[in-house]
Structure 1
Amino acid sequence: MSLVSSKDILLKAQREGYAVGAFNAENMEMVQAIVSAAEESSSPVIIQTTPGSLQYADTDLFFGMVNAVAGKAKVPVALHLDHGNSAELCAKALRSGYTSIMIDGSKLPFAENVELTKKVVEFTHAMGVPVEGELGTVGGKEDTHEVKDSEKAYTDPQEAKAFAEQTGVDFLAVGIGNAHGFYQGVPKLRFDILEKTKGLVSIPIVLHGASGIPDEDVKKSTGLGICKVNFATELRDAFTKGVKAFIAENPDAFDPKKYNGAGRAKVKELVMHKMQVLNSVNKA
């Protein structure tokens, strides 16, 4: 199956009351693991790359890998630009063949965020590709994307309604106490904000920074309008632990296929668990 639009995947999730996992990939093995887990779980899936990852390997290379693996899959796979930090990067990903784009203007004042997001929506929609925007800042650090504690802000539900209407985005990422990276302590999500936002915004809502959020809170959020849940840090951690464990048991190992294969297995195991949590199993 060729790569599909994330809009089709997420609108189905919204109608049927589950969420789709959006998993950040850093290399070929993680791409293989994510799609293999989706195949085994019969789950739709979104693979993402951040600007930081795209400094390591560009949009053409990631598209080539994901497209090759997705082309042999029987489940829907979308390729998404996560936290696009400029209109130029969004356009580059679009030219490479990405089937989903995020422009993150959440650190800008409301009017400037609207202006930037609307600009990206216009040229991206012209190519038939959906756009994710963000309102309210998600704290923490992910690759080159960092929001300091002083910059964190909850999403205002009324502003979310205005933002969606003025920009024409297809999905909206919200700040409800979630953060990138691993949490210090147990995160406290503002479900009241999420519930109010769902009542005012008709488009699918996105939860970033899900690594470390308890499974029961992720499940609860999907019942309150979350249709896409992002995982990045946990996947990196799983891959690294798999590689380290293999090398610890095989100190003379020098074949990357061996130790990267161990990392791949750990990522697949984690992704399959997250798909169970999101209730996306057998929804492909």
Structure 2
Amino acid sequence: MPLVSPKEMFAKAYAGGYAIGAFNVNNMEIIQGIISAAETERSPLILQVSAGARRYAGQTYILKLVEAALEESDLPICLHLDHGQDFDICKKVIDGGFTSVMIDGSHLPFEENIALTKEVVEYAHPRGVWVEAELGQLAGVEDDVQAEENVYTNPDEAVEFVERTGCDSLAIAIGTSHGAYKFSGQPRLDLERLETITTKLPEFPLVLHGASTVLPELVDMANSYGGQIAGAKGVPEDLLRQAAKSGVCKINIDTDIRLAMTANIRKFLAENPAEFDPRKYLKPARQAVQDMVQHKIETVLGSSNTL
């Protein structure tokens, strides 16, 4: 089955009150774990590639790994560029076969963000490629994305931004943040702001970045086998489920994949100190990714059995 645009999956998600998971991929085991989970849950899927992943694995390797997954799976799969920094990187992945791109001009002044987004839209749309943009800014660090503080999305600016750029979906800032250290106090999302944006942009797909839950059991497992992940705290799953029922059609998940893999690799190596075959410790890590993604699809996204 060929790669697909997220257009149809977002329309069904919006109408059905659920979200599609956009899971960051870096290597074969992560892709295999995500695909197995989505096949088991019969859920559509977005595989997304960051600038860091393109540097680590190379765009060609990632495309070939995804191509292998497509040959073995009947799932509708969208391949998405996460946090495209400029027009050139968006052009490269569009020309390479990606079906969706995110141009991230959120760090720019409003008018410059509009101009950059519009430039990408004008290149992508004639080639049938979906464009996600971002308005507002998320705090935290993840790969090349770094910001000191949250800048919440202004609902009126969101309407103007969508109208003037022609973007297809919009990542908004309502309190999520990148990385494993999202909150120092009580976790909170500005769901009222989300409702306002949804009302002003009816049936328009919204996106949440920085939406990993940082599951405590994974943090505890990593720390119990030598990790030093102190004070990590993510977005509670019940808040994400609420957002998925209110205009959010895509929820990004990256940190939880990293935690699932690392915690299980640490556990295996601690319990099997004589082992040095990467296949031995990557196998349980791959299963951990599958288990975590299945949990997200069922509990957070609500996209099980929606094909």
Same fold (TM over 0.5): yes
Query: In 2, Cα distance between the equivalents of 1:75 and 1:30?
Result: 16
2:245 aligned with 1:223:
yes
Distance 2:83 2:91 in 1: 13
2:304 is matched by which residue type in structure 1?
Answer: V
- Please name the residue that 1:201 is paired with: 201
Q: Residue 72 of structure 2 corresponds to which residue in structure 1?
A: 72
Q: Aligned with 2:146: secondary structure?
A: strand
Which residue of the other structure, out of 160, 163, 168, is the alignment partner of 2:161?
Answer: 163
Counterpart of 1:27 in structure 2 is 27
Q: Deviations over 1:170-197 (max 9, x none)?
A: 1100000110112234431111110000
Structure 1 counterpart of 2:288, one-letter code:
K
Structure 2 unaligned regions, length at least 5: 213-233
Displacement, 1:71? 2.6
Matches within 5 A, 1:110-259: 110-149=110-149, 152-182=150-180, 183-185=182-184, 186-202=186-202, 203-211=204-212, 212-259=234-281
What is the alpha-carbon distance in structure 2 between the residues aligned to residue 189 and residue 121 of structure 1? 29
The answer to whether the aligner puts 1:283 opposite 2:306 as a matched pair is yes
Q: In 2, are the aligned partners of 1:35 and 1:70 still within 8 Å (CA)?
A: no
**Partner letter of residue 267 of structure 2?**
A
Q: Does 1:268 align with 2:269?
A: no
Equivalent position SS for 2:132: strand
Task: Write the deviation string for residues 203-260 of structure 1: whole angstroms up to 9, x where unpaired.
Answer: 2000111112111101111121111000001110111111111111211212111111
1:37: Cα distance to partner? Answer: 0.3
Partner residue in 2 for 1:97:
97
The one-letter code of the counterpart of 2:183 is Q
Indicate if the aligned counterparts of 1:137 and 1:154 stay in contact, CA closer than 8 A.
yes
Q: Is the 8 A contact 1:242 1:265 kept in 2?
A: no
1:45–1:78: 8 Å Cα contact kept in structure 2?
Answer: yes
User: SS of 2:304's equivalent?
Assistant: coil
Matches within 5 A, 1:33-48: 33-48=33-48
Letter of the structure 1 residue corresponding to residue 40 of structure 2 = E
Aligned length: 282
Distance in 2 separating the partners of 1:224 and 1:275: 17
Which residue of the partner structure matches residue 223 of structure 2?
none
Secondary structure of 1:248's partner? helix
RMSD of equivalent CA atoms = 1.1
By how many angstroms is 1:52 displaced? 1.3
Q: Distance in 2 between matches of 1:2 and 1:229?
A: 23
- The normalised TM-score by structure 1 is 0.97
| Cα contact 1:161–1:200 (8 A) shared by 2 | yes
Task: Identify the residue that residue 18 of structure 1 maps to in structure 2.
Answer: 18
Q: What is the rounded CA distance, in whole Å, between the counterparts of 1:137 and 1:229 in structure 2?
A: 16
Structure 2: how far apart are the matches of 1:92 and 1:252? Answer: 44
Could you tell me how far apart the structure 1 residues matched to 2:178 and 2:71 are? 31
Structure-2 separation of matches of 1:43 and 1:2: 16
The answer to whether the Cα contact below 8 Å between 1:5 and 1:129 also exists between their aligned partners in 2 is yes
- Matched-pair contact (CA < 8 Å) for 2:47–2:77: yes
Q: What residue number does 1:59 align with?
A: 59
